[in-house]
C-alpha cells in the first residue's frame, strides 16, 4: 500500500496556505487512499528563535486543528515528531550523507537566515540542517508520497537525492519518495504582499488568514487584499499576483478553475467579496470543531500517544536497518 508522510511546524498559527497547500488533501484524499502518517514536526520549530511555552502551546493547537480539519485517527497516524526518537536518530545518518554545499543552496535557508540576521538574531545551525531532519522524517517511514505545498519542492528533491545516495553507497534501504501538490492553491500568497508566500511565522499577520480567525477578521483581511490598479479581472500570476491569488483562493474554496473564474467577474470588488464569503464558509466547520476538541485536551493527548506508538513501530525497523547498513555495530 502507498505510504504517505507529511507535517506542519508549530512555528505559528496554521494558515489558509497550510490548509489549501497541504492539510485539506490529507483530510479529503490521502487518509482514505493510503497508509498515511501526519506529524506536528516540533523539532523544526526550534530552528529559529522560539519561546518554549509558545511552541508547546502551538504543538497542541496544531494537533487539535488537524483533527478539527478532519484527520481521523482511525484512518491515519497523527503524532508529534519529538515523541518518536527515530527522526533524530536517522537525521544524524543523513547528515553524514548530505554535504554542506547542498544545504547552503536551499532557498528557505537563504531566506530565513537573512530574516534572522535582519532581526539581529544569530542563525542556528539547525536552520541549515533542517532539510536533513525533514528528509529523516520522510525516509524513516518508507514514504512513497509527500503531499506538500509548492515551497517544499526543493526539500523533497533533496530528500530524494539523499535516499538515492544512501542506497547506492550502503545498499538499498530507503524508498525514494515524491512530492505531490494540489492542482490549485499550491502556493497561497500573502494578501498584503502577493509576491511572497503566506507563511505562518511571518511577523506581520495582516496578510495572513489563520484557520482560527473569526469570520469578520477573515472578511476584513480578504477585502483589504492588495491587488493592482488594473480593472479587468485576469488570471496572470506574474503580472497581477494579487488578483491571481484571489482567483486561486476562490477556485480552491469553491472547486472551480481560476482561469474560468476570471471571466465571471467584472470588478475586483465583487471578486473580493465572493472570495471572502467562500473562505469564511470553508473555514467555519474547522473553527467550530476546533472549539469542541479544544475543550477535551485529554482526547487529543490520547490520539497523540497512540499515534507516537504506531509511528515508532513503523520507523524503528527501518532506521535500525539504516544503522547497520552504514556500518554501525548493532548493540548486543
Catalytic residues: 112, 197, 200
In the complex, which residue's CB is closest to ligand ATP? 21
The span of 146-154, 215-223, 296-304, 321-329 binding ligand ATP (CB under 6 A) equals 146-154
Secondary structure of the chain in HEC code, one letter for each residue: CCEEEEEECCCCCCEHHHHHHHHHHHHHHHHHHCEEEEEECHHHHHCCCCCHHHHHHHHHHHHHHHHHHCCCCCCEEEEEHHHCCHHHHHHHHHHCCCCHHHHHCCHHHHHHHHHHHHCCCCCCHHHHHHHHHHHHHHHCCCCCEEECCHHHHHHHHHHHHHHHHHHHHHCCCCCCCEEECCCCCCCCECCCCCCCECCCCCCCHHHCCECCCCHHHHHHHHHCCCCCCCCCCCCCCCCCHHHHHHHHHHHHHHCCCHHHHHCCCCCHHHHHHHHHHHHHHHHHHHHHHHHHHHCCHHHHHHHHHHHHHHHHHHHHHHHHHHHHHCCCCCCC
Please tell me whether residue 244 binds ligand ATP under the rule CB under 6 A.
no
Using the rule CB under 6 A, is 286 a contact of ligand ATP? no
Q: How many residues touch ligand ATP (CB under 6 A)?
A: 21
Interface with ligand ATP, residue 94, by CB under 6 A: no
Q: How far is the CB of 42 from ligand ATP (least distance, A)?
A: 11
Residue selected from 13, 200, 221, 240 as contacting ligand ATP according to rule CB under 6 A:
200
Is residue 188 at the binding interface for ligand ATP, with CB under 6 A as the rule?
yes
**Would you say 149 is a known binding-site residue?**
yes
Residue 161 or 193 with smaller CB distance to ligand ATP:
193
Give 20 or 319: the residue with its C-beta nearer to ligand ATP: 20
Say whether residue 222 binds ligand ATP (CB under 6 A). Answer: no
Nearer to ligand ATP, 154 or 217 (CB): 154
Q: Is 332 labelled a binding residue?
A: no
Q: Within positions 16 to 75, which residues make up the interface with ligand ATP, using CB under 6 A?
A: 17-18, 20-22
Which residues belong to the annotated binding site for ATP? 9-11, 17-18, 149-151, 188, 197-201
Q: By CB under 6 A, name the binding residues for ligand ATP.
A: 8-9, 11, 15, 17-18, 20-22, 148-149, 151-152, 186-188, 197-201
Amino acid at each position: 500500500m502507498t505510504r504517505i508522510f507529511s507535517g506542519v511546524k508549530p512555528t505559528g498559527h496554521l494558515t489558509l496556505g497550510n490548509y489549501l497547500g497541504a492539510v485539506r488533501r490529507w483530510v479529503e484524499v490521502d487518509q482514505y487512499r493510503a497508509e498515511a502518517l501526519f506529524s506536528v514536526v516540533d523539532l523544526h520549530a526550534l530552528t529559529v528563535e522560539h519561546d518554549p511555552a509558545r511552541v508547546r502551546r502551538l504543538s497542541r493547537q496544531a494537533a487539535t486543528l488537524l483533527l478539527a480539519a478532519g484527520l481521523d485517527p482511525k484512518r491515519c497516524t497523527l503524532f508529534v515528531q519529538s515523541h518518536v526518537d527515530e527522526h533524530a536518530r536517522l537525521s544524524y545518518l543523513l547528515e553524514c550523507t548530505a554535504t554542506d554545499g547542498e544545504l547552503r543552496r536551499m532557498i528557505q535557508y537563504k531566506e530565513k537566515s537573512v530574516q534572522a540576521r535582519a532581526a539581529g538574531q544569530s542563525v542556528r545551525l539547525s536552520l541549515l540542517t533542517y532539510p536533513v531532519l525533514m528528509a529523516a522524517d520522510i525516509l524513516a517511514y518508507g514514504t512513497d508520497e509527500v503531499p506538500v505545498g509548492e515551497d517544499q519542492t526543493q526539500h523533497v528533491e533533496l530528500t530524494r537525492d539523499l535516499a538515492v545516495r544512501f542506497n547506492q553507497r550502503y545498499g538499498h534501504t530507503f524508498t525514494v519518495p515524491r512530492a505531490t501538490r494540489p492542482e490549485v492553491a499550491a502556493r497561497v500568497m500573502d494578501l498584503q504582499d502577493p509576491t511572497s508566500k503566506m507563511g505562518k511565522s511571518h511577523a506581520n499577520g495582516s496578510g495572513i488568514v489563520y484557520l482560527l480567525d473569526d469570520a469578520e477578521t477573515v472578511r476584513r483581511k480578504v477585502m483589504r487584499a492588495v491587488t493592482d490598479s488594473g480593472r479587468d479581472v485576469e488570471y496572470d500570476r506574474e503580472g497581477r499576483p494579487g488578483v491571481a491569488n484571489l482567483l486561486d483562493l476562490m477556485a480552491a474554496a469553491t472547486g472551480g478553475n481560476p482561469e474560468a473564474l476570471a471571466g465571471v467577474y467584472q470588478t475586483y470588488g465583487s471578486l473580493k467579496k465572493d472570495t471572502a464569503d467562500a473562505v469564511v464558509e470553508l473555514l467555519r466547520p474547522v473553527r467550530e470543531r476546533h472549539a469542541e476538541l479544544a475543550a477535551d485536551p485529554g482526547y487529543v493527548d490520547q490520539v497523540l500517544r497512540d499515534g507516537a506508538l504506531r509511528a515508532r513501530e513503523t520507523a524503528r525497523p527501518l532506521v535500525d536497518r539504516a544503522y547497520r547498513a552504514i556500518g554501525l555495530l548493532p548493540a548486543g
